[in-house]
Amino acid sequence: RLRLHDGKLIKDRRYHLRTYPNCFVAKELTDWLIDHKEAPDRETGIRLMQKLMDHYIIHHVCDEHSDYKDAKLLYRFRKDDGTFPLSKDVKVFVRGQSLYEKLVSVEESILKVREENSVKYQRTFLGCEMIDWLVQEGEAENRKEAVELGRALLEHGIIQHVSNRHHFFDGNILYQFWINFRRRRRLTELLNENSSRALSESPDSPFCLRKLNPDPGNTSFLSVQTNKEIKIVSAVRRSSITSLAGNSNPYFSTAPALVFPPVAECNPKSVLKRPVTNEELLSPGAPYVKKTLTIMGDAVGWGFVVRGGRPCHIQAVDPGGPAAAAGMKVCQFVFSVNGMYVLHLDYQTISSLIMTGPRTLMMEVMEAIE
C-alpha cells in the first residue's frame, strides 16, 4: 500500500461527478504487479488481489463488487478509509510486531541466538528477561500484566517455547519470536497460506496468524472485545486504565474518551496559520527541521491531539502530559509513527496507528525553523 502511494497509483479520482479519495484502478494495479515482479502474469495478479479482498484489506469503493475484476474499476485499501477491521487477532499481531521492532533496534537486545539441547534457535529470549524488559520499557504496568501479554503473543503464534512444550511463564524458560517480522515478503506467499506444509516451513508468512489452543483457564486475551470505534478516535490520549469497563488488559483497550473536548468543541479551527502541503514540507531547502520524539505514555495516555491530513499536524498538547515533556509542540507536522511514514494519511488513521501501538511511542515530526 505504501509503495502504491509513493508511486501515485493511489490517489483521489473522479468518476461520474464524484471524487473518490485514495483509490486505485484495478487494471492499472494489475499492470503494476507484473511490472514490479510481484506477479508473473495477470491471472496470478488477480488471485493475489482477491486474497486481499478476502482478508478485508481492499474493497470496491462502493462495495458493489465482492470479487476483484481486472477492469477500470475503483478499489481502495481499507486502511485508507478507516474501514479496516481491527479484530483482536489483528491487534495482537500488530502489538507483537511493534515489540519485535523495538527489541531488534536497540543495542544489547535480549533477542539472541541461543542453544538448547544442542539445537540453535534464532530470536530467543528468556521468559523472565522479557518480563523485566516489558516492565522497564513501560510496555506493562507490572509483572502480572507482562505475563498476560506474553501469553497472548504465544496463543496467537507470535512467540513460542523453543521446543513448544510450555506456555509463557516468568522464569528461566527459553522462548523465541516465531515470526521474523523483518524478512522481506512477497505477495505470492499469500497463495500458499492455506497449505499446512507452507505454514510449517515458512513461519514468516505475512498473514501467518496461527492462533494456538489456549489453556482453558487462561482467558486473559479471549476476554478482550473487538474495538469497533477505533476509526473515529481523534484525540491521541488513552483513557484511564481504571475506566476500561472492567477490562484488565490495557494492551488492547477499548476506544478512549477524548482528552480535550473543550478544544475540539470551542476551537474547531486549525491552529495552522495557513495550509501546508507535503511537497512544501519535503522540498529541498524548505524551512522545516525534522525531530524525533520518544513519548513514554502514562496511565492515561500521551497527551496530544492530531488534526488535519496529508500532512497531519499537532492541534493541541497537554502541558503536563508526556508529549510536552518529550518536546512536542503545537503546529508540528507528523512525519512518521513507530517507523511508519504517515505524511499521506489523515488524522483518524494516524490516531488508530498510535492507539494500537506500544505505550512507548516513537514519532518523527517536522516543525518550522524559527
- Cα atoms in the Cβ-side hemisphere of radius 13 Å centred on 108: 2
Q: Are residues 114 and 65 in the same domain?
A: no
**pLDDT above 70: percentage of residues in the chain:** 79
Instruction: Say whether pLDDT at 144 is over 60.
Output: yes
**Number of independent structural domains in the chain:** 3
Q: Are residues 47 and 116 in the same domain?
A: no
Question: Is residue 191 one of the residues assigned to a domain?
Answer: no
Reported as a single tens digit per residue, the pLDDT across 65-100 is 889 999 999 999 998 888 887 778 888 888 998 899
If one counts every other C-beta atom within 10 angstroms of the C-beta of residue 131, the result is 24
Reported as a single tens digit per residue, the pLDDT across 308-366 is 988 999 998 888 888 988 999 999 999 999 888 899 888 888 988 888 778 888 999 99
Instruction: Say whether pLDDT at 253 is over 50.
Output: no
Alpha-carbon distance 8 to 79, whole Å?
16
> How does residue 268 score in pLDDT terms, banded at 50, 70 and 90?
low
In DSSP terms, 23 is beta-bridged to 11
Q: Are residues 288 and 355 in the same domain?
A: yes
- Cα atoms in the Cβ-side hemisphere of radius 13 Å centred on 287: 4
Q: Are residues 132 and 171 in the same domain?
A: yes
Q: Are residues 95 and 172 in the same domain?
A: yes
Q: Are residues 52 and 95 in the same domain?
A: no
Q: Are residues 29 and 96 in the same domain?
A: no
Contact 50, 37 (CB under 8 A): no
Q: Are residues 27 and 101 in the same domain?
A: no
Question: Is residue 183 one of the residues assigned to a domain?
Answer: no
Instruction: Say whether pLDDT at 249 is over 80.
Output: no
- The closest of 191, 46, 234, 84 to 76, measured between CA atoms, is 84
If one counts every other C-beta atom within 10 angstroms of the C-beta of residue 261, the result is 10
- List, edge to edge, every strand of the sheet that includes 119-126: 112-116, 119-126, 174-177, 159-161
Question: Is residue 233 one of the residues assigned to a domain?
Answer: no
Tell me what pLDDT residue 241 has: 28
Question: Is residue 212 one of the residues assigned to a domain?
Answer: no
Question: Is residue 302 one of the residues assigned to a domain?
Answer: yes
Query: What length does the chain have?
Result: 370
Domain boundary among 143, 177, 211: 177
In SS3 terms, the chain reads as: CHHHHHCCCCEEEEECCEEEEEEEEHHHHHHHHHHCCCCCCHHHHHHHHHHHHHCCCEEECCCCCCCCCCCCCEEEEHHHCCCCCCCHHHHHHHHHHHHHHHHHCCCCCCCEEEEECCEEEEEEEEHHHHHHHHHHCCCCCCHHHHHHHHHHHHHCCCEEECCCCCCCCCCCCEEEECCCCCCCCCHHHHHHCCCHHHHHHCCCCCCCCCCCCCCCCCCCCCCCCCCCCHHHCCEECCCCHHHCCCCCCHHHCCCCCCCCHHHHHHCCCCCCCCCCCHHHHHCCCCCEEEEEEEEECECCECCEEEEEECCEEEEEECCCCHHHHHCCCCCCEEEEECCEECCCCEHHHHHHHHHCCCCEEEEEEEEECC
Question: Is residue 4 one of the residues assigned to a domain?
Answer: yes
Question: Is residue 221 one of the residues assigned to a domain?
Answer: no
Tell me what pLDDT residue 176 has: 93
Alpha-carbon distance 168 to 148, whole Å?
9
Reported as a single tens digit per residue, the pLDDT across 33-57 is 999 989 999 999 999 999 999 888 9
Question: Is residue 103 one of the residues assigned to a domain?
Answer: yes
- Domain harbouring 7, CATH code: 1.10.10.10
Domain boundary among 77, 112, 131: 77
Tell me what pLDDT residue 341 has: 87
Alpha-carbon distance 115 to 7, whole Å?
44
Tell me what pLDDT residue 212 has: 43
> How does residue 285 score in pLDDT terms, banded at 50, 70 and 90?
confident
Alpha-carbon distance 96 to 101, whole Å?
9
What is the span of the domain harbouring residue 305? 278-368
Domain boundary among 17, 42, 77: 77
- Domain harbouring 307, CATH code: 2.30.42.10
Q: Are residues 69 and 111 in the same domain?
A: no
Q: Are residues 70 and 126 in the same domain?
A: no
